[in-house]
Amino acid sequence: MLTALDKKLLEEVADLHGQPPGAYNIRKDGEGIQRRSLEGIEIKTKADQPGIDVIVAAGKEGSVHIPVILTETDLSDLVFNTIDIGEGADIKLVAGCGIHNPGSKNAQHDGVHEIIVRRGARLHYSEKHFGEGEGGGKRVLNPKTVIVIEEDAYAELELIQIRGVDETSRVTEVEVKAGGRLVMFERLLTDGRQTADSDVAVKLMGEQSTARIISRSVAQGHSRQVFTPRLMAYGPGRGHVECDSIIMDHAAVRSVPEIWAENSEAELVHEAAIGKIAGEQLIKLMSLGLTEEEAEEAIISGFLK
């Protein structure tokens, strides 16, 4: 039975308003509490470690929600999930973690997702982090996502964390095989004394493999962010890394994009920019009647959209 708090957290991280439409597995405070498998989408508990296996049959279309929520303080949850998207399948996978820490001790979730997107399949992966709680205890999230995109498969990743999480260290590793395509959007907003590290490594392995990594972040207060997106081409692939950050108040942002080619036909580009909100942008919106605060909010929400 889900409490009102559980429902709120699920709404925040997985946009769930009631029962998910497709297959799902909801994990709360270290334990699976609700699950539904469907024909062609099987979810089962791992035998050797905490976590689940999600097996999607070839050609299957549908959605899978696997959110995690933590509602207790002094809790450390570690989970390993394996997701196998069958050939030609088309799946929307919604992960994400919401923490409500009511106490003075830490609440931490470390999640490892291993995903294989098989030949010709399509995956839309969404992972949203959310944190809240009246206690002084930290909300800590450390996700690791490892993905293999097979020949002619496509994966779109949407990784979102807007305020609320005190510490996060995210690792994303993707291997893109010939004809495979990756599009990754990362959106992050930190404030107060929050810290966020994002380490992304994408390997383009074969002909016609492509990757586009777009990272947008806003750092407010005294928060600190570090981005290290690395794009490596071992074959004649094409890739583009774009890291943009708005820095405000007393925050610090470090952005270290790296491109690395081992094939003369590879084409890789990186762009990185850190800067404050442009004065002319604020003036423009204020000249339409917005207050300075409204203008700032509009610019930030547009930037992170």
Strands 68-70 and 97-100: parallel
275 binds other proteins (CB under 8 A): no
Phi and psi at residue 285, in whole multiples of 5°? -70, -35
d(Cα 297, Cα 118) in Å, to the nearest integer? 41
Nearer to other proteins by Cβ, of 178 and 298: the residue is 298
278 binds other proteins (CB under 8 A): yes
Nearer to other proteins by Cβ, of 252 and 283: the residue is 283
183 binds other proteins (CB under 8 A): no
Q: How far is the CB of 288 from other proteins (least distance, A)?
A: 5
- The DSSP output letter for 43 is E
Number of residues that bind other proteins (CB under 8 A): 21
287 binds other proteins (CB under 8 A): yes
The window from 43-51, 137-145, 222-230, 290-298 that contacts other proteins (CB under 8 A) reads 290-298
Do 125 and 85 touch, CB atoms closer than 8 A?
no
Q: At what angle do helices 292-303 and 279-286 cross, to 10 degrees?
A: 120
Site for other proteins in 195-234 (CB under 8 A): 216
Q: How far is the CB of 299 from other proteins (least distance, A)?
A: 7
Do 156 and 186 touch, CB atoms closer than 8 A?
no
CA nearest neighbour of 143 among 186, 182, 102, 105: 186
302 binds other proteins (CB under 8 A): yes
193 binds other proteins (CB under 8 A): no
283 binds other proteins (CB under 8 A): yes
d(Cα 184, Cα 213) in Å, to the nearest integer? 5
Nearest 10 degrees: Cα torsion 208, 212, 213, 214:
180
272 binds other proteins (CB under 8 A): no
Enclosing H/E stretch for 10: helix 4-14
264 binds other proteins (CB under 8 A): no
18 binds other proteins (CB under 8 A): no
Nearer to other proteins by Cβ, of 5 and 286: the residue is 286
Q: How far is the CB of 285 from other proteins (least distance, A)?
A: 6
- Give me the amino acid identity at 57: A
d(Cα 196, Cα 304) in Å, to the nearest integer? 16
The window from 59-67, 92-100, 137-145, 289-297 that contacts other proteins (CB under 8 A) reads 289-297
d(Cα 144, Cα 137) in Å, to the nearest integer? 23
The single residue among 249, 262, 265, 292 that binds other proteins, judged by CB under 8 A, is 292
Nearer to other proteins by Cβ, of 248 and 298: the residue is 298
Interface contacts to other proteins, rule CB under 8 A: 216, 244, 278, 280-281, 283-292, 298-299, 302-305
